[in-house]
Amino acid sequence: MIDATVLVIDDDDDILLSARLFLKQHFSQVITCKSPKEINVLLSRNEVDIILLDMNYQKGASDGREGIYWLEHILSIDKDYVVILMTAYGNVELAVQAIKKGATDFILKPWENEKLFATLSAASRLRQSNKKVKKLERIHSSLQKDINRQFENIVGNSEPIKHLQNTLVKVAPTDANVLILGENGTGKQVFAYELHKLSHRKNQIFMHVDLGSLNENLFESELFGYAKGAFTDAKDDKPGRFEMAEGGTIFLDEIGNLSLPLQAKLLSVIQNRTVNRLGESKERKINVRLITATNMPLNEMVSKGTFRQDLLFRINTVELLLPGLAQRGDDILLLAGHFLNTFSTKYHKSILDFEAKAEAMLLSYHWPGNVRELQHVVERAVIMSDSLKIGVNDLQLSPQKFGSNTPIQSDMGLEEMEKLMVQKAIDKHKGNISRAAADLGLTRAALYRRIEKFDL
């Protein structure tokens, strides 16, 4: 029994009876009607899979015009309906015209039951295939919307970020392989997605693969796919992540975690632009944009022999080095304000701003967890705060992570905290003004003004 609903439309009662008696033996539901004028009501009330449509309804008509008209009407409701036309008058030109208009097939009356069943079985498989494609398209569309919500535009006005944004604009329209380096929490995935959004592949899939969490035994099957029977649980053919990203972008995160044997397999795929599913010898061409990322020192790893130099050459046509949040002084309050707005909306709070001392504390903190840590700190503060402004106590920052033996006190004045920040930056860089200014996100001139102001 095929799980499908068949709608039969014919003005002949004998045809309808014959069709119902035969088809109900093979299909889960059979609906019949005498007039195509009932089509709208029937389609709105039933999940119809196959429509068997007569071509002539007026007495004496044999040119099939009515059938063509109702075919076009059905497909205007949903172009994915599977419609099979039937007529007692064999006409090759009419059949060709019907197929061109979107009919799936054409059958003559009186039909042979075996032929009718074969035709409708094939039509049912086509309908199920169309449903799967439509479902996948909806899933893909939904995933892209979720990604768009998750990754917003890069937030920042500091010099390091402006430089990276200029590089992104130049690199994104190309298909150059990009390697993104940076500490944990610096936003490597956000930058990868920004590259995708600015590329000509922006309407295709963005496939994120976390290699760090991928079991080594599953590497090939996950990335390259497998054929039915390739291993015990391989009950069906399954495409890998590279195939699923066809036409789009694949982002391989934590690439520094790959063992040398897996690096060799990945290199082969990147070089040849083909994948071989496990259990089959057929080469499948792939067309993807490759972006990789890691927080590990790949050049040092090459020197130590733990990362292949030829793979590094392949993946870093362009290299982006993301700064830590401590090197983005001008962006800290900008990002904090961005997260404040986001989480205030999410948790239905009316928190408008940060208190001055809280801002100073945010600026003086060293942010070992970078942007991700700032995001979590602000989210927690929004959840816990009962005021219209976030205060020092709401931030719950650890005094041990301010990079100085002098702890930040909640009762410090704003100028005291700023002076402490400047002094720490100068001490950290042993008097190098350029580096201290960059660490604070200031120009050299702006730092000199503060040195003079605080008599340092």
Q: Do 163 and 25 belong to one domain?
A: no
Look at phi and psi of residue 182 and say left if phi exceeds 0, alpha if psi is from -120 to 50, else beta. left
Q: Are residues 175 and 117 in the same domain?
A: no
Query: For the domain that residue 277 is a member of, what is the CATH number?
Result: 3.40.50.300
What pLDDT, on a 0 to 100 scale, did the predictor assign at position 318?
96
Q: Give 81-117 pLDDT, tens digit per residue.
A: 899 988 776 666 777 777 888 888 888 888 888 888 8
pLDDT tens figures, 22-62: 988 999 899 999 888 888 888 888 888 899 988 888 776 66
Tally of CB atoms within 10 A around 292: 28
The answer to whether residue 405 is domain-embedded is yes
Indicate if 195 and 124 belong to the same structural domain.
Answer: no
Of 251, 286, 321, which closes a domain? 321
Q: Does residue 214 have a pLDDT over 80?
A: yes
Is the per-residue pLDDT at 410 higher than 50? no
Amino acid 311: pLDDT: 96
Q: How many CA atoms lie within 13 A of 263 on its CB side?
A: 21
Residues 35 and 127 in one domain: yes
State residue 408's pLDDT score.
46
Provide the pLDDT confidence category of residue 243 given band limits of 50, 70 and 90: very high
Contacts made by residues 301-310, CB under 8 angstroms, sequence distance 24+: 301/256, 306/260, 307/256, 307/263, 308/260, 308/263, 308/264, 308/267, 310/267
For 61-88, the pLDDT digits (tens) are 667 788 888 888 998 888 888 999 887 7
Q: What is the pLDDT of residue 150?
A: 47
Q: Where are the alpha helices (DSSP H) in 103-187?
A: 113-150, 159-171
Q: Which strand ranges, in their side-by-side order, compose the sheet holding 27-33?
A: 27-33, 2-9, 50-54, 82-87, 105-108
405 confidence band (pLDDT: 50, 70, 90): very low
Q: What is the number of other CB atoms lying within 10 angstroms of the CB of residue 346?
A: 11
407 with 416: CB under 8 angstroms?
Answer: no
The tens digit of pLDDT for each residue in 287-346 reads 999 999 999 999 999 999 999 999 999 999 999 999 999 888 889 999 999 999 999 999
CA dist 207 → 43, 189, 253, 266, 402 (Å): 37, 11, 10, 16, 37
* pLDDT tens-place string over residues 346-369: 999 888 899 988 998 898 888 989
Residue 35 domain-assigned (yes or no):
yes
- In this structure, what CATH number is given to the domain that contains residue 352? 1.10.8.60
Token pair listed for 154? 């890069």
Tell me, yes or no, whether 57 lies in a domain: yes
Query: What is the residue whose two structure tokens read 């094939």?
Result: 122
Establish if 274 belongs to a structural domain: yes
Q: Can you give the pTM of this predicted structure?
A: 0.61
* Same-domain check for residues 42 and 116: yes
**CB-based contacts of 342, cutoff 8 Å, min separation 6:** none
pLDDT band at 433; cut points 50, 70, 90: confident
Q: What are the φ/ψ torsions at residue 400 (nearest 5 degrees)? A: -70, -10
With beta carbons less than 8 A apart as the criterion, state whether 307 and 263 touch.
yes
Residue 372 belongs to what domain range? 325-454
Q: Per-residue pLDDT averaged across 233-260, rounded?
A: 90
Kind and range of the H or E element at 448? helix 444-454
* 145 part of a folded domain: no
CATH number at residue 35: 3.40.50.2300
Instruction: Name the residue with tokens 């100028």.
Output: 415
Q: Give how many domains the chain has, as a whole number.
A: 3
Mean pLDDT in residue range 428-456: 76
What are the pLDDT digits (tens) for 126-176? 888 877 777 676 666 655 555 554 445 788 888 899 999 999 999 999 999
Residue located via tokens 């035709």: 119
Q: What is the mean pLDDT of residues 414-419?
A: 68
Tell me how crowded residue 232 is: count the other CB atoms within 10 A of its CB: 6
Give 394's contacts (C-beta < 8 A, 6+ positions apart).
358, 381, 384, 385, 387
Q: Are 385 and 310 found together in one domain? A: no
118 in Cβ contact with 111 (< 8 Å): no
Strands 225-226 and 238-239: antiparallel
Among 101, 131, 161, which residue terminates a domain? 131
In this structure, the dihedral spanned by the alpha carbons of residues 110, 114, 115 and 117, taken in order and rounded to 10 degrees, is: 100
Confidence of residue 245 (pLDDT cuts 50, 70, 90): very high
Final residue of a structural domain among 321, 354, 380: 321
Strand 353-354 with 389-390, pairing: parallel
- The reported pLDDT for the residue numbered 149 is 47
Task: Select the more confidently predicted residue: 426 or 315.
Answer: 315
